[in-house]
Amino acid sequence: MRQRLEFCFWTRAFVLGSLIHLTLPDYEQPGWLMPRIIHVVGCYLLWKRPTFLGFLICTMASLWPLLMLRDVLTQSMLLTWMGAWGAIVTIRRTPVQLNVIRYLTAGTYFLAALHKLNDNFFEPDISCANHALKGVAAHWSQLD
Protein backbone atom coordinates (compact mmCIF):
# COMPACT_ATOMS: atom_id res chain seq x y z
CA MET A 1 0.00 0.00 0.00
CA ARG A 2 2.82 2.42 0.91
CA GLN A 3 4.55 1.79 -2.43
CA ARG A 4 1.36 2.57 -4.30
CA LEU A 5 0.95 5.82 -2.37
CA GLU A 6 4.57 6.76 -3.14
CA PHE A 7 3.94 5.96 -6.80
CA CYS A 8 0.90 8.25 -6.80
CA PHE A 9 3.01 11.07 -5.31
CA TRP A 10 5.75 10.40 -7.86
CA THR A 11 3.17 10.48 -10.66
CA ARG A 12 2.00 13.91 -9.51
CA ALA A 13 5.62 15.11 -9.48
CA PHE A 14 6.07 13.68 -12.99
CA VAL A 15 2.97 15.57 -14.16
CA LEU A 16 4.19 18.84 -12.64
CA GLY A 17 7.64 18.38 -14.16
CA SER A 18 6.09 17.61 -17.54
CA LEU A 19 3.83 20.66 -17.44
CA ILE A 20 6.75 22.92 -16.51
CA HIS A 21 8.76 21.37 -19.34
CA LEU A 22 5.94 22.23 -21.76
CA THR A 23 6.39 25.93 -20.97
CA LEU A 24 9.93 26.01 -22.40
CA PRO A 25 10.50 28.27 -25.42
CA ASP A 26 11.13 25.22 -27.63
CA TYR A 27 7.40 24.53 -27.60
CA GLU A 28 6.75 27.91 -29.22
CA GLN A 29 8.40 26.76 -32.44
CA PRO A 30 6.34 25.75 -35.48
CA GLY A 31 5.20 22.13 -35.34
CA TRP A 32 5.40 21.78 -31.56
CA LEU A 33 1.78 22.64 -30.71
CA MET A 34 0.30 19.18 -31.31
CA PRO A 35 2.78 17.27 -29.12
CA ARG A 36 2.23 19.90 -26.43
CA ILE A 37 -1.56 19.43 -26.53
CA ILE A 38 -1.24 15.64 -26.51
CA HIS A 39 1.16 15.80 -23.58
CA VAL A 40 -1.26 17.99 -21.61
CA VAL A 41 -4.01 15.41 -22.20
CA GLY A 42 -1.73 12.67 -20.83
CA CYS A 43 -0.89 14.85 -17.83
CA TYR A 44 -4.57 15.45 -17.16
CA LEU A 45 -5.24 11.71 -17.11
CA LEU A 46 -2.28 11.10 -14.81
CA TRP A 47 -3.26 13.87 -12.42
CA LYS A 48 -6.54 12.09 -11.81
CA ARG A 49 -4.94 8.66 -11.41
CA PRO A 50 -1.78 6.85 -12.57
CA THR A 51 -2.93 4.89 -15.62
CA PHE A 52 -1.21 3.07 -18.44
CA LEU A 53 -2.99 5.24 -21.01
CA GLY A 54 -1.86 8.48 -19.34
CA PHE A 55 1.78 7.37 -19.21
CA LEU A 56 1.62 6.03 -22.76
CA ILE A 57 0.25 9.33 -24.06
CA CYS A 58 2.94 11.31 -22.21
CA THR A 59 5.66 9.00 -23.51
CA MET A 60 4.48 9.25 -27.12
CA ALA A 61 4.06 13.03 -26.83
CA SER A 62 7.61 13.45 -25.52
CA LEU A 63 9.03 11.07 -28.15
CA TRP A 64 7.49 13.12 -30.96
CA PRO A 65 9.76 16.18 -30.50
CA LEU A 66 12.78 13.96 -29.86
CA LEU A 67 12.33 11.95 -33.06
CA MET A 68 10.66 14.43 -35.40
CA LEU A 69 11.45 17.97 -34.24
CA ARG A 70 15.13 17.73 -33.29
CA ASP A 71 14.59 18.20 -29.56
CA VAL A 72 18.02 18.07 -27.92
CA LEU A 73 17.14 18.65 -24.28
CA THR A 74 18.26 16.10 -21.71
CA GLN A 75 15.10 16.57 -19.65
CA SER A 76 13.02 15.60 -22.71
CA MET A 77 14.76 12.24 -22.82
CA LEU A 78 14.46 11.85 -19.06
CA LEU A 79 10.70 12.53 -19.16
CA THR A 80 10.37 10.02 -22.00
CA TRP A 81 12.16 7.31 -20.01
CA MET A 82 10.15 8.11 -16.89
CA GLY A 83 6.87 8.01 -18.83
CA ALA A 84 7.80 4.63 -20.31
CA TRP A 85 8.74 3.34 -16.87
CA GLY A 86 5.42 4.59 -15.45
CA ALA A 87 3.54 2.79 -18.24
CA ILE A 88 5.35 -0.45 -17.45
CA VAL A 89 4.66 -0.10 -13.72
CA THR A 90 0.93 0.40 -14.28
CA ILE A 91 0.55 -2.83 -16.27
CA ARG A 92 2.79 -5.01 -14.08
CA ARG A 93 1.50 -6.70 -10.98
CA THR A 94 4.77 -6.50 -9.05
CA PRO A 95 5.77 -3.99 -6.38
CA VAL A 96 6.73 -0.52 -7.57
CA GLN A 97 10.48 0.09 -7.60
CA LEU A 98 10.96 3.86 -7.27
CA ASN A 99 14.74 3.42 -7.12
CA VAL A 100 14.57 2.81 -10.89
CA ILE A 101 14.02 6.56 -11.22
CA ARG A 102 17.42 7.18 -9.63
CA TYR A 103 19.07 4.92 -12.19
CA LEU A 104 17.17 6.49 -15.10
CA THR A 105 18.16 9.98 -13.94
CA ALA A 106 21.80 9.08 -13.33
CA GLY A 107 22.05 7.23 -16.65
CA THR A 108 20.43 10.03 -18.63
CA TYR A 109 22.67 12.73 -17.20
CA PHE A 110 25.75 10.50 -17.50
CA LEU A 111 25.03 10.11 -21.22
CA ALA A 112 24.48 13.88 -21.53
CA ALA A 113 27.82 14.56 -19.86
CA LEU A 114 29.52 11.96 -22.06
CA HIS A 115 28.02 13.65 -25.12
CA LYS A 116 29.56 16.95 -24.09
CA LEU A 117 33.03 15.41 -24.07
CA ASN A 118 33.10 15.36 -27.87
CA ASP A 119 35.53 17.79 -29.47
CA ASN A 120 32.77 19.68 -31.34
CA PHE A 121 30.79 20.73 -28.26
CA PHE A 122 32.09 24.31 -28.42
CA GLU A 123 32.13 24.48 -32.23
CA PRO A 124 30.09 27.64 -32.98
CA ASP A 125 28.36 26.31 -36.10
CA ILE A 126 26.99 23.03 -34.75
CA SER A 127 26.87 22.99 -30.96
CA CYS A 128 23.86 23.50 -28.73
CA ALA A 129 26.25 24.93 -26.11
CA ASN A 130 26.42 28.20 -28.01
CA HIS A 131 22.65 28.53 -28.09
CA ALA A 132 22.55 28.05 -24.31
CA LEU A 133 25.42 30.47 -23.80
CA LYS A 134 23.59 33.18 -25.78
CA GLY A 135 20.46 32.61 -23.66
CA VAL A 136 22.41 32.91 -20.41
CA ALA A 137 24.21 36.03 -21.67
CA ALA A 138 20.92 37.65 -22.69
CA HIS A 139 19.35 36.80 -19.34
CA TRP A 140 22.25 38.17 -17.30
CA SER A 141 22.56 41.32 -19.40
CA GLN A 142 18.95 42.15 -18.53
CA LEU A 143 19.82 42.14 -14.82
CA ASP A 144 22.15 45.16 -15.07
- Identify the band that residue 144 occupies on the pLDDT scale cut at 50, 70 and 90: low
CA distances from 57 to 8, 13, 24, 29, 74 (A): 17, 17, 19, 21, 19
User: Could you read off the pLDDT of 2-53 as tens digits, one per residue?
Assistant: 777 888 888 999 999 999 988 888 788 888 889 999 999 999 999 999 999 9
Average pLDDT over residues 56-79: 85
Please give the share of the chain, as a percent, with pLDDT higher than 70: 78
pLDDT for 129: 61
- The rounded mean pLDDT for the chain is 82
- Transcribe 31-81 into DSSP letters: T-HHHHHHHHHHHHHHHH---HHHHHHHHHHHHHHHHHS----HHHHHHHH
